[in-house]
Structure 1
Amino acid sequence: MKLYEELLEKNKLVEETKEYLKNILDTFPEMVFVYSDRDDMVFKNRRFEDEADDEDLINEAVKISKQVIETGMRRIGEYEKNGVFYSITSEPLKHENETQAVTTIVNVTSTKELERLKELDRMKMEFISNISHELRTPLAAIKAYSETILTSLKDLDTDTLKDFMDTIYNQSRHLEELLNELLDFSRIEQKALKLEKIMVDVVNLCREAVNSMMEYARSKGVELFFETDLDSLVMLVDPKRLKQVLFNLISNGVKFSKKDSEEKYVKVSLSKEDGGVLIVVEDNGVGIPEDKKDRIFEKFYRIDSSLTYEVSGTGLGLTITKEIVELHGGRIWVESEVGKGSKFFVWIPIEKVQNDGDGGQDSGEG
C-alpha cells in the first residue's frame, strides 16, 4: 500500500512538473511545438495554438523538424510571405527512446526591416563619400589649371594653353554630367521625372548614340559597334532620355571592361520583339555576381565598394536608366556571368500615337 501511494505521489509530481513546464512554454512569445518520429505534434504551446494559421508556414516548420529527426542535428530555416518574415529553429530531443524535434517559430519582420534600414544607411554613407570624391576631382582639376593660367599666362605657349583649356572644358562637362545625374535622381525621388515624347527613328537614334561614344570607348581600348537588321523604326519616345539610357549602359560596359583583356568590346544591337523594340548592350567585361543581379538597379547600391574610387560615376546611372525605361512602359533586365561579361536588355513597347494625358510636353527640365 505504501509503495502504491509513493507511485501515486511520484506520478502526481511528474504531472505537476509537466504542467509547470507547459505553463512556462505558454508564456513564450515564440510559437513552439514538439514533433515526434511518429509524424505528429505531441506538444503545442499557446502561442502556436493561437497564431499558427498559415498552413504553408506550418508545413515548412514540419519539414525542418523531420530533417532534424532524420539527422539528429540542429536546423535553422527562414520563411517569408507577403513581406512577413519568420525564423524557424529546430533542435533534436530524446524522450523515452524516441527522437523528437523541438521547433520554434519567431516573427522576425521588424528585425529584417531594421537590417534593411541599416544597410540603406550604410549605402547612403558610401554614396555621399563617393559623390564627394567625384565632385572634388573635376573641381580640383579646374581650379589647378585655372590658377596656372592666371599666374603664368605670359609663360604659356599656345599649344600648352590650348591643352589646359581643353582639360578645363572636359572637366567642366564631366562635372555637369554628375550634377545632371543628381538632379535626375532628385526628380525620381519626388516622382517628378517626366518624358517629352516625339516620333523618332530609333535606329538612327541608337546609331547616333553609339557613334558619339566611339571615341570614349577607343580611348579605353574597347571596341564599340552597333548591329541591326532594321533600316528604320519610327516610334514615340523621348529621344533625349532614350539616348541617356544608351549612354549609361555603354559607359558601364566600357568602364567595367577587364583591364588585362586584349580584346575588349561593347556591342549594341536593336531588333523588334513582342510588339516592342529590344535594345541589347553586351560586353565581355568583369561581369556581375549572380546574387547581386537583382540589386544593381537599387538606389545607392554598388556591387563592390572597392570599385568606388576606381571607376568614376555617381553609382546612380542604373537607377535612373530603369526609371526612364519604365516611364516608357518598358522593362530592363540583365544576364551576366563573372569573368565573362554582361548583357543588358531594354524592351520598350512600340507606340505610334501620343496618349492623352501622358504628360509628354513636360520634359522635367528646370
Structure 2
Amino acid sequence: MTLLASSLGFSSTRREKQTLVTDMDGTLLRGRSSFPYFALVAFEVGGVLRLLFLLLASPLAGLLYYFILESAGIRVLIFATFAGMKVADIESVARAVPPKFYSSDLHPEAWRVFSSCGRRCVLTANPRVMAEAFLKDYLGADMVLGTEIGVYKGSATGLVCAPGIVVGKNKAMALNKAFSDTCMPEIGLGDRKTDAPFMKLCKNCFKTLHLRSVTGLAEDIVPALFSDFKFLECLKLEKCIGLRCLEINAGGSLKSLTVVDCPDLAEITLSASNLKSFSYQGVLPRIQLKNGVNLVDVMLDMRAVIGHNEFDCEELLSLLAALKDVQILTLSGWLLEF
C-alpha cells in the first residue's frame, strides 16, 4: 500500500502470524505534525522557558522542513526541545503525558489493521524516547524504530545520532537492519511518497487500493502508485479533496478504475491499454479517452452540476461516441435526458 487509506477494505482476519510495519505520524496517527507533542514534552519537562525557546525556533524549523530539507527541520525541533534535559525526566513524562493525546489522534482504520497483526513495528521520525512508551505500553508495538538522540552523562545533547532522522531512505535502512536476521514484514502502511522505500521491502504486492477521504493529493500521485506498486489491478478514489487532474497512462496491470465524489477533479485522461472497467460518480469533469483504451464496462453518473469546467456539448458528445464499442455502458438519468 502507498497511502494510509489503502488499508480501507483490507481484511483484518487471519493476520495473527503476520508482521506489520507502519509509519507513525499521518498513518497510525491522523495528524501529520509532531510539533504539538514536542511542545507538550518541552513544557512538562522544561517549563514555560523551554516552551518559549521551542516556539521561537519553530519558524526556522518550519522553513527548513517545508522548503529545504525535512530532516533539517526535525533536527531543529529536537534540539530546541531536548538539549540539556535529563533522559530520566524525558522518559517519565513520555510515559505519563503524551499517551492520552496520542490516543485521541489514533486513526481508526490504521488501528484496525495494526491490531490485527501478530507482530507490529512502528517507524517514526520522532525521537524514540518520546514515542516508545505509548507505542509499546498502550498499542502493543513489539518494536519502535525512531530517531536516536545523543546522551552525555544522563542528559540529552539535543543532537541526533547516526544515521540521522528516520525519514525517507533512512526508514528503509532502519527496517533492513532490524529485520536482517528474520523475514521482512508482510504488510506496510504509510501516508506519503517518502514512505515508499520502506514499504517496497514488505512482502505483499497489493493488487487493490482504495483511497477514501484523502486530502491534498498531488497530480502525480497515480503515476507514483504504478511506479512503486507494479501489480496494482484495481484503484478506487473516493472523496479525495484536492485532486484536480487524473491521468491513467499505465501500460501495466491496472484493470479497474473507480472515482467517486472527488469535488475538485476537473480532468480525467485515460490511455491505459489493460483498463477494462471505468466507473465515475460526481460533478461533470473533462474526460478524454486516448488511443489504446479497450474499455469493456463503463458507468458514468455525472450530475448536472458543472464542476470546474464550462459545459462543452461537443466534448460530451465526443466522449459518448468514443464509448460506442463498450459492452456495458451505464449512464445517469441526466445524460439520458441530455
Q: Which has the higher contact order (CA 8 A, sep 6+)?
A: 2
Q: What TM-score do the two structures reach when normalised by structure 1?
A: 0.19
Structure number with higher helix proportion:
1
Q: What TM-score do the two structures reach when normalised by structure 2?
A: 0.20
> Higher Cα Rg: structure 1 or 2?
1
